[in-house]
Amino acid sequence: MAKKTGLLLLAEGAEEMEAVITVDVLRRAGVLVTVASVGNSNIVTCSRGVKIQSDETLSDATKGKTYDVVILPGGLGGSEALAKSEEVGGILKDQLKGDRLIAAICAAPTALKAHGIAEGKKITCYPSMKDKVEGAYTWVDEKVVIDGKLITSQGPATAYLFGLAIIETLIGKKEALTVAKGMLCGDYK
């Protein structure tokens, strides 16, 4: 069985916890995650001033490649950058056309709305962003919401559950439970 692949889109102002925790959780399950910077630099300054080095720039990471899941971490500045990027919009539309998974956390569902991705689905996001996504989506007040090939989550403290939901969807419940147990994540059932 081929390894599952993921692409995490990292833009200036991204929420570092959501990015790093999601990548870490997925890699524990053997998902081959590429961290791609949106922009020309491989060094991205996140919302709390933490600098993260990406594996590749987004344009390099997507040349002739598709991924099983494309992941958008939140953070207000990062989400705004994702929303403004035509390249990100194209990747998300291709992901949707290919019936592949899209996952967004915190403020990142606003970028989905900006690109017209999966409108009409049930989603969640950071509660103060609810008014920015309502109308295009049905907002649900839960830590993680899965609606078909779309996974959304509320914020930094839910990043572990977000990563585990991606694992469950990509690989299966058994693997997600194994990873959760290894991390002592008792919230995941």
Active site residues: 106
In order of 69, 90, 117, 124, the CA distances from 163 in angstroms are 11, 24, 20, 15
In order of 49, 73, 77, the CA distances from 150 in angstroms are 29, 14, 22
Cα distance between residue 62 and residue 67, in whole Å:
9
Cα of 4 vs its chain's centroid, Å: 15
Structure tokens at 34: 């590429």
* Three-state DSSP state, 118: coil
